[in-house]
């Protein structure tokens, strides 16, 4: 078991964000988390990353309790956050420099990830010259270069246009297929979740609790017009609609 979340609860001042959350994720599994706005999805990701601490419960990675950030977990945020003063290559090598790898070692690793995220030819380019999708590839490669066991992704494609978003979903699955990292992916898009995930976790309106887990038993690459794809999407959308209605009241 790569990741185990046991009876997690988290509040911010008087707001209960998460309550009694239990979730186990296997090695190499791709799990998407969906739920209404404000249900605690991002909070859960930050707890797994060790950026926040739970009020109750615990999170373990390979049976070791999470008590802060660690190299075994890497997080990709929604915002495009490559360091503007660094080229593509030097962005990817940032964590490797902290690890004090030699220039030759850094070069070998960054070459691999430059090719993996399809940025060959842009390695000496600064972020201001890159498109949104390319910037997010840099951020993904920067995290992957540190070889985390678990990749945490907080709506990483949320601000991309529809065409670029679909392309990035496809490329992420290609990378996941090669790297076989465990992925926990938060999204507001049910379509995106059905396209990407082995399993979809739906979360209730605040305080966030696990409502249902859906195994997506579709071969990849997936066809968004497939009848089973549409059936899963409709079912989850209906659940989310009900949760939103509960939150806003009659």
Q: Where are the domains of the chain?
A: 3-80+150-248
Other CB atoms closer than 10 Å to residue 156's CB: what's the count? 25
15 forms bridges with which residues in the sheet? 12
Cα→Cα distances 199→33, 49, 202, 214, 217, Å: 9, 20, 10, 5, 9
> pLDDT tens-digit profile of 96-155?
999 999 999 999 999 999 999 999 999 999 999 999 999 999 999 999 999 999 999 999
For the chain, what percent of residues have pLDDT higher than 70? Answer: 98
For residue 1, pLDDT over 90 is answered with no
What pLDDT shows up at residue 250? 57
For residue 249, pLDDT over 70 is answered with no
* Predicted confidence band of residue 247 (pLDDT cuts 50, 70, 90): low
> pLDDT tens-digit profile of 15-37?
999 999 999 999 999 999 999 98
User: Which has the closest alpha carbon to 142: 78, 71, 69, 82?
Assistant: 82
- Report the predicted TM-score, pTM, of the whole model to 2 decimal places: 0.93
* Predicted confidence band of residue 58 (pLDDT cuts 50, 70, 90): very high
Which of 3.20.20.70, 3.40.50.300, 3.30.565.10, 3.40.109.10 is the CATH number of 3-80+150-248?
3.40.50.300
- Average pLDDT over the chain reads 94
For residue 78, pLDDT over 90 is answered with no
> pLDDT tens-digit profile of 197-237?
999 999 999 999 999 999 999 999 999 999 999 999 999 99
Lowest mean pLDDT among 73-82, 143-152, 166-175: 73-82
What pLDDT shows up at residue 80? 75
């Amino acid at each position: 078991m790569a990741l185990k979340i046991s009876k997690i609860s988290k509040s911010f001042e008087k707001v209960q964000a998460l309550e009694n959350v239990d979730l186990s994720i296997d090695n190499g599994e791709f799990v998407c988390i969906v739920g209404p706005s404000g249900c605690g999805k991002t909070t859960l990701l930050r707890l797994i990353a060790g950026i926040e601490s739970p009020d109750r419960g615990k999170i373990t990675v390979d049976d070791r309790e999470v008590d802060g950030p660690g190299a075994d977990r890497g997080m990709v945020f929604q915002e495009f956050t490559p360091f503007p003063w660094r080229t593509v290559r030097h962005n990817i090598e940032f964590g490797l420099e902290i690890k004090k790898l030699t220039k030759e070692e850094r070069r070998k690793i960054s070459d691999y990830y430059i090719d993996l995220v399809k940025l060959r030819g842009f390695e000496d380019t600064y972020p201001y010259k890159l498109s949104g999708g390319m910037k997010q590839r840099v951020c993904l490669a920067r995290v992957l270069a540190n070889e985390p066991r678990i990749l945490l992704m907080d709506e990483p494609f949320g601000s991309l246009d529809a065409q670029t978003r679909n392309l990035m979903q496809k490329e992420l699955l290609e990378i996941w297929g090669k790297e076989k990292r465990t992925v926990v992916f938060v999204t507001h898009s049910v379509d995106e979740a059905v396209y990407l995930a082995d399993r979809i976790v739906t979360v209730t309106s605040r305080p966030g609790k696990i409502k249902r887990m859906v195994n997506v038993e579709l071969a990849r690459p997936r066809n968004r017009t497939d009848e089973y794809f549409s059936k899963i999407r409709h079912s989850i959308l209906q659940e989310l609609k009900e949760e939103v209605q509960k939150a806003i009241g009659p």
